[in-house]
Structure 1
Amino acid sequence: MTAMPDVLPEVETASTSEKPWRLIVWNDPVNLMSYVAYVFRSYFGFTAEKAEQLMLQVHHDGFCAVRSGSREAIESDVQAMHGFGLNATMTQEA
């Protein structure tokens, strides 16, 4: 009888070394800048200054990486941003 190779440590190594995911919020012609800052304050709990800084980055650069984390957490954030009417996607950090 052949012994099965122990693959569990490899799976654990792959999951612990997974690169974080980023939440990207995109500029759009619909939402007011003040509303975007409000969403950042109310959903993420950012200070008014931090929310304003991120909103201006979205406005001037066309997008902003708002936060990073696990795939599940960022997927939840993307859905929440869609619920607020913001255009958001996720990408894995390089």
Structure 2
Amino acid sequence: MSVQEEVLEEVLTETKEKKQNEIVVFNDDVNTFDHVIEMLMDACEHDMLQAEQCTLLIHYKGKCAVKTGDFEDLQPRCTKLLEAGISAEIQ
């Protein structure tokens, strides 16, 4: 086994062991596309295209995981979305 393979194996093992949380945003009949896009760009640091794509998924699928990461990073982001009137939760 090469050094590169060993390092890759260690990284994959560490990734599996660390539980990642997600912010899931749910569709509603209140918020506009523009508002949701703007808030995803602000709270989740999405670029315009990513925010638009997530907003379309939220609209057509009913929900979308918009950000993945550690709970400590996601909590203030989710709070910002909730304060903006967007239905979101960390799963």
- Note if contact 2:40-2:51 (Cα within 8 Å) is conserved in structure 1: yes
Aligned length: 76
For residue 29 of structure 1, report the CA deviation from its aligned partner. 0.7
**RMSD, aligned CA:** 1.5
Per residue, is there more helix in 1 or in 2?
Answer: 2
Residue in structure 1 matched with residue 61 of structure 2 by the alignment = 61
Residue in structure 2 matched with residue 41 of structure 1 by the alignment = 41
Sort the Cα spacing of 1:83 and 1:58 in 2 relative to 1 into closer, same or farther, 3 A: same
Residue in structure 1 matched with residue 19 of structure 2 by the alignment = 19
The two structures have a TM-score, normalised by structure 2, of 0.75
Unaligned runs of 5+ in 2: 1-15
Aligned partners of 2:69, 2:18: CA distance in 1, in Å?
10
SS at match of 2:31: coil
Residue in structure 2 matched with residue 7 of structure 1 by the alignment = none
Aligned partners of 1:43, 1:70: CA distance in 2, in Å?
15
Unaligned runs of 5+ in 1: 1-15
Aligned partners of 1:78, 1:90: CA distance in 2, in Å?
7
The two structures have a TM-score, normalised by structure 1, of 0.73
Which structure has the greater CA radius of gyration?
1
For residue 85 of structure 1, report the CA deviation from its aligned partner. 0.9
- Runs ≥4 residues deviating over 6 A: none
Sort the Cα spacing of 1:44 and 1:32 in 2 relative to 1 into closer, same or farther, 3 A: same
